[in-house]
Structure 1
Amino acid sequence: MGKKQKFDGLSEDYDQYRPRYPEEFFRKIAAEISAFPEVTVVDAGAGTGIALEGLRPALGEAVGYLAVDVSEDMVDRGREKFPDVRWTVGAAEPFIEGLDAPVQLVMAAQAYQWMDRPRFVTACVAALAPGGLLAVMQNNRDYTLSAFLDAYETLLELHSPGYTRRYRDFDVAGELASGFDPTGGHVGVSVLTWRRRVDVADFVRMAASSTQVRRAADQEGVGFLDRVRELCEAHARDGRLEIAYRSELFLGHRG
């Protein structure tokens, strides 16, 4: 049996309760690669295929999809949703390094922070066809706009070992540029802010699907979820929370 991964055992709640990505991002990706007569996509750190839900309608039918994730649990769920996608259990970096033909798009949605980032960028630059695209996409809870989210982040920082709300505060655009600029390419950035209304019970289930909450629960017991629920109920209106998001899309264009 393989080594247990971060999201093993979380796939059902992860797939059902995680926020989806802005459709505008997928339209932008589709426009950027529209000149290719044939397209092969690699979804790196694909999870259960949440990003594929938005990408596939935007790209249309004549596209081949490869998806890789370290969690067998997540991949099993992804296969159920998208049986025509070629799924692989494993790390993204060696998978991309081992591709036997150029691809037109690599996508990393909510996964880039988990990777060996310099190795991943180098592998993507080598694997992409000229004019190809690396799309790094992430939904970030915007705790600067919400007293609830600020309090939730503080709760995690106090009880989840090693967690900080700034765990994605690094220069994604600069890291991509270090790989793509030498090819004669460039990096583009798009940002959208939006809000999502969520029932308290659904937010707690979403929280339970996160590694940060799992670490806190491993340390303090399942009662930690009661803390999360109490915090949600203190900030909810009519049983619902308004969650502010800052979504980011970084596009590395290969020259």
Structure 2
Amino acid sequence: MGDTRAFDDLAEGYQRFRPDYPQAAWETLRGYVGPDVELLVDVGAGTGIATRALRATFGAGPDVVGVEPGEGMRAQAENVAGDVRYVAAPAEALPFADGSASLVLTAQALHWFDRPAFYAEATRVLRPGGVIAVLVNDRDTAASSFLQAYEDLLERHNDDYSRDYRHFPVSDELDAAFGMGDDYRFGWSRRQTRDEFVGTALSSSKTNAVVRKLGEAETRAAIGAVLALHFAGDDVEIPFTTSLFLRRRSA
């Protein structure tokens, strides 16, 4: 897994500003997994956004566990009520018995993992017929001239950044590891104020690299200038596509 400290200094902003996932994605996941569930695992849980959603989606019965190695992120997760629990462990060494999990989910975290090692661990801990789910929120840059300009800003000031950094063949990798399954896409939009968008941006490790280069005040000003060019008022609408990839462990 990548540097577990990457988000520790950003954890408070991450908890406050990061988006949830569309309800349709959770309903699709629940229907795919089915009602007979015991242990639901959220790997790379961060501040617990998806972990808490698992509890809301599947109800009071199953054990819901968020796996998060980053101390700062885990502390933020544990500060929010949700009738779930959290453990410190990397994605590549999950602290669960063989064949014990009904679901292994990772939401917005797969790109940080040693993916082959994670897929092997998910296979180990899933019960026969258990589900691995990968959930990804992506800003729909192609649908927004503002987002294109914002990505230009990040690429201009962060030499290690590409807007395509999460574009890898998730579906093909899951097919190879688990066999064929189902992929879903959900389009939606998020409304924020300008300040909320800046807060969301600053909760990103990619934008934080710009902060280290320019300083926070100049970074805020640069993002604000792009916002002002594209939105007349204080309201900002950001289009998203959420991808949900579902596979089963073979019996």
The match for 1:74 is: 73
Aligned to 1:16: 16
- Structure 2 distance, partners of 1:209, 1:76, is 16
* TM-aligned CA deviation for residue 130 of structure 1: 0.9
Q: How many residues align?
A: 246
Correspondence list, 1:70-219, <5 A: 70-82=69-81, 84-94=83-93, 96=94, 98-101=95-98, 102-181=100-179, 186-219=180-213
Q: Report if the CA contact (8 A) 2:51-2:66 is conserved.
A: no
In the alignment, the residues of structure 1 paired with residue 55 and residue 190 of structure 2 have an alpha-carbon distance, to the nearest angstrom, of 23
Deviations 1:23-80 (A, max 9, x none): 11111111122242x4201110001111123221210110101211121111011111
Partner of 1:234: 229
Question: What is the rounded CA distance, in whole Å, between the counterparts of 1:151 and 1:105 in structure 2?
Answer: 38
Distance 1:116 1:148 in 2: 33
Unaligned runs of 5+ residues in structure 2 are none
Q: State the match for 2:45 in structure 1.
A: 46
| RMSD between superposed Cα atoms in Å | 1.5
Work out whether residues 9 and 72 of structure 2, in 8 Å CA contact, stay in contact via their aligned partners in 1: yes
> Contact 2:139/2:241 (CA < 8 Å) preserved in 1?
yes
Residue identity matched to 1:73: G
Matched, 1:248 2:250: no
User: What is the TM-score when the length of structure 1 is the normalising length?
Assistant: 0.92
Identity over aligned pairs, percent: 34
